[in-house]
Amino acid sequence: MAATKDIVARCEALFEDLNFESARAWKAAEDGRKVIGYLPVYVPREIIHAGGMLPLGVLGGGDRLEVIHGDAYYQSYICRIPRSTVELGVTKRLDFVDGMLFPSTCDVIRNLSGMWKLMFPEVYTRYVDVPQNFDDELGGAFFRQEMEELKEGLEGVAGRKITDDAIRESIAVYNENRRLVRELYAFRAKQPWKTPSAEVYLVVRAGMVLPIEEHNQLIRDYLAAADAEDRPMRDNCRIVLTGTFCEQPPLNLIKSLELAGCYVVDDDLLLITRWLLDDVPTEGDPLGNLARAFLHNSESTSAKYVDDEAEKGRYLVRAVKETGAEGVIFAAPSFCDPALLDRPMLQNELKANNIPYIAFKYAENSGQMQPIREQAGTFADSIKLWSAA
Amino acid sequence: MTITAGIDVGTGAVKAVLYEIVDGTAKRLAESLYRIRQRDPMQLAAEAYDTCLEKAGLTRDDVAYVATTGEGETIPFATGHFYSMTTHARGAIEMEPEARAVLDVGALHGRAIVIDERGKVLNYKMTSQCASGSGQFLENIARYLGIAQDEIGTLSQQADDPEKVSGICAVLAETDVINMVSRGITAPNILKGIHLSMAGRLVKLLKAIGAGNGSVVMVTGGLALDGGLVAALSEDAKEQNVEVIFRSDPDSPYAGAMGAAIWGAFRHEKLAKLGQLAMAS
């Protein structure tokens, strides 16, 4: 059995590779293979997979990419992920990508789809809209049609039809991935000292670049290795990390939280892997099933439009209760509208439930962790020493 | 009876203490302090801990909770870690129950903390990244002047006409000192000038967080034993109309480690009640 350190080392190498060599190698292994990039937060990857193509998560440039060209495209009050994504594009790091999907995360990501069309006209580029109405007849029909059009566009890239049977098979494979990620998260919530959050992040992040079948095996291997290894339990408090669903925090930030005395027992990092909460049915109309899962079986995080104001923040309270967390850390990228506009409402819900929290902002290239360690460290101390429990 | 250890990895030194807690009363069994020169602080932490155990005739297995503080987050045998402000506050209360503020002056920076009678941090402010006002700066100046560190306090208190140096920037302050030496200013007057400059910055921190009204300020950290600095603090507080009483203790450098060990005992008991006892490896 592989040790966690070997599995994590492989994941870290994938994470650090800004040239996406593993995806390039996958594409080069067989003639005619195609790669479709997507930005956070949610796209139905099953349709890409059903077309025999590789879905590739493009999550910005992190803290290792110097943004030179990207800054020229955006005002100073815009977050960093679109800048570093433009940088990845203009420096030809994404020159092997045949299509790019820009989900309906915020105006910035939506507008990036238009810019991408102008900058890379040879690349299939699509803005993937999602419903803001949760009625099957309205929002459901709209999203099904949106996915139908996406499927047709992807067929053009793949050069073949994407059949309903193929989508059903892909849904089954992604259901397995969702189950495994849920299992990994449940394992961490139970024994966080055996699965450090930075490791969990790297293992899940590997799924952004690896074929899904390979990622499923990787999670199984990691879970088995983590379970078998004996790691000392630290007297840390347990927190839920929220606001991190789009621009990803630097790996050092996640490590710093744990070093400061906080076990992360739930988070909204790489939310695409847990956007749908349960298995999507593999019988019947596959696009209809995906649409219904989005409407009725996806979490009401800040990354999703929530039409019922009373529902705001309930998921966060549920996450705290289900994982036995003792507090919440709001970490949002600077200028992230979805995370920062929701924050006061979420905090009100936490206040009403007597759940302590702290809040700070970051950028994907934040380098100075001392203030974050200080805030997280004092938060951990206040929970450990002064909470009523 | 519970045995706990506190390890404070500072910028200039690693401090370790060992406590025995019986019915809520803490009794110190041993302590050790290792200066960080060019050695690995993590290795020093292990050595300081083992030295304490040896002095007390105990082994690692006897210790219920190893609490780290300062830069000790990555110590592999720790049970838990506490932020340094939390531990200095608790250590200060242990040494001086009347203390309602703490002035932690270490090698890297100074920090003023307002606390309550339980050692809970109520407010704080620390010096910025500039090194002036830190122990490291004072140590550098002493080296330029050819003075041993333990002579600094005594010499400073012999000053008759101190010359203040820049309180803004360590580089400018060092230039000031070079000029003073060439002008023939005596070492006591130079040192007292530096102490007054540092005191000016530190008292401002206390003022900013609302310390005053005759409250007792416990000075902790490595510079708490510098009598020259403590005297300068009192003088400067009077000048700035900040009504506080400064106290220092021979154990002041161990405040962080002491606080860590005592909070470790508290956590050990709490976790035992909750049935979630973390085991020190």
- For residue A55, the domain's CATH number is 3.40.50.11890
Torsion angles phi and psi, residue A294, rounded to 5? -65, -45
A386 contacts B271? CB cut-off 8 A: no
* Residues A26, A118: Cα–Cα separation, whole Å: 27
Number of neighbours of residue A43 by Cβ within 10 angstroms: 25
Best residue in A190, A233, A234, A235 for a mutation probing chain B (most B CBs within 10 Å): A235
What percent of chain A clears pLDDT 90, i.e. is strictly above it?
Answer: 92
Task: Tell me how long chain A is.
Answer: 389
Using CB atoms, pick whichever of B85, B121, B278 lies closest to residue A235: B278
- pLDDT of A221 > 50? The answer is yes
* Residues contacting A145, CB < 8 A, separation 6+: none
The β-bridge partners of B126 are B111
Residues in chain A within 8 Å Cβ distance of B281: 232
- Dist. CA A199–CA A232, nearest whole Å: 16
Q: What is the domain count for chain A?
A: 1
pLDDT of B280 reads 44
Q: Helix, strand or coil for residue A361?
A: strand
Contact status of B22 with chain A (Cβ, < 8 Å): no
pLDDT, residue B20, reads 95
CA distance linking residue B84 with residue B11, whole number of Å: 12
Calpha distance B217→B103 (Å, rounded): 7
DSSP A145-210: HHHHHHHHHHHHHHTS---HHHHHHHHHHHHHHHHHHHHHHHHHHH-TTTS-HHHHHHHHHGGGTS
Q: Is B80 on the interface with A (CB under 8 A)?
A: yes
Q: What is the DSSP letter of A249?
A: P
Q: Which chain A positions have a beta carbon within 8 Å of B73's beta carbon?
A: 259-261
Task: Give the pLDDT mean for A136-157.
Answer: 98
Residue A387 counted as domain residue? no
Distance of alpha carbon A338 from alpha carbon A269, whole angstroms: 14
Is B86 within 8 Å of A385 when comparing Cβ atoms?
Answer: yes
Q: A386 and chain B: CB distance < 8 Å anywhere?
A: yes
> Does residue A117 form part of some domain?
yes
Closest residue in chain B to residue A234, using alpha carbons only: B79
Give CA–CA dist A60/B207, Å, rounded.
45
Which residue(s) pair with A266 in the sheet? Answer: A240
Q: What is the pLDDT of residue B128?
A: 64
- The answer as to whether A227 is a domain residue is no
pLDDT per residue as tens digits for the range A306-345: 888 888 899 999 999 999 999 999 999 999 999 999 999 9
**Candidates A232, A236, A381; nearest CB to B83:** A381
Tokens of residue A303, six digits = 């990354």
Q: Count the neighbouring beta carbons within 10 Å of the beta carbon of residue A141.
A: 15
Q: Which residues 147-206 of B are in CB contact (within 8 Å) with A? A: none
Chain A residues in contact with B76 (beta carbon < 8 A): 232
pLDDT of residue B135: 79
Same fold, B2-89+254-280 and B97-248: yes
pLDDT at res. B197: 86
What fold, for B97-248?
Nucleotidyltransferase; domain 5 (3.30.420)
Q: Tell me: the pLDDT tens digits for A284-294?
A: 999 999 999 99
| Terminal Cα distance for chain A, rounded | 40
3-state SS assignment for residue A76? coil
Lowest mean pLDDT among A45-49, A236-240, B139-143: B139-143
Residue A353 contacts B, CB cutoff 8 Å: no
User: Residues 104..123 of B with a Cβ closer than 8 Å to A: which?
Assistant: 120-121
Residues of chain B neighbouring A233 (CB-CB closer than 8 A): 278-279
Nearest to B134 by CA among B52, B81, B45, B195: B195
At B23, list the tokens. Answer: 């019915």
What's the average model confidence in pLDDT over A55-80? 94
Which residue in A139, A161, A149, A190 sits closest to A293, CA to CA? Answer: A139
The answer as to whether A372 is a domain residue is: no
Which of B83, B263, B274 has the CB atom closest to A377's CB atom? B83
Domain that holds residue A107: 32-165
SS (H, E, C) chain B: CEEEEEEEECCCEEEEEEEEEECCEEEEEEEEEEECCCCCHHHHHHHHHHHHHHHHCCCHHHCCEEEEEECCCCCCCCCEECCHHHHHHHHHHHHCCCEEEEEEECCCCEEEEEECCCCCEEEEEECCCCCCCCHHHHHHHHHHHCCCHHHHHHHHCCCCCCCCCCCCCHHHHHHHHHHHHHCCCCHHHHHHHHHHHHHHHHHHHHHHCCCCCCEEEEEECHHHHCHHHHHHHHHHHHHCCCCEEEECCCCHHHHHHHHHHHHHHHHHHHHHHHCCCCCCC
d(CA B224, CA B226): 5
Tell me if A385 and B271 make a contact (CB, 8 A cut-off): no
- Interface contact flag, B74 A259, Cβ < 8 Å: yes
Distance CA A4, CA A222 (A): 6
CB pair distance less than 8 Å for A260 and B81: yes
Tell whether domain B2-89+254-280 is in CATH 1.10.150.120: no
**B34 touching chain A per CB within 8 A:** no
Chain B residues with CB-CB distance to A385 below 8 A: 86, 120, 263, 266-267
> Is the minimum CB–CB distance between A233 and chain B shorter than 8 Å?
yes
Residue A230: C-alpha distances to residues A270, B61, B68 (Å): 27, 18, 22
Q: Alpha-carbon distance A81 to A246, whole Å?
A: 8
- Three-state DSSP class for residue A110: helix
Residue B172 has, within 13 A of its CA and on its CB side, a CA count of: 10
CA–CA dist B191, B142 (Å, integer): 8
B121 preceded by cis ω (within 30°)? Answer: no
- For residue B53, the distance in angstroms to the closest alpha carbon of chain A comes to 21
Size of interface A-B (CB pairs under 8 A): 53
- Looking at every residue in chain A, the average pLDDT score rounds to 96
Residue of B68, B79, B82, B88 best to disrupt the A interface, most CBs of A under 10 A: B82
Residues of chain B under the 50 pLDDT cut: 279-281
Q: Distance from A256 to chain B by nearest Cα, in Å?
A: 10
Residues B67, B263 contacting (CB under 8 angstroms)? yes
Domain ranges of chain B: 2-89+254-280, 97-248
Question: Cβ separation of B279 and A261 shorter than 8 Å?
Answer: no
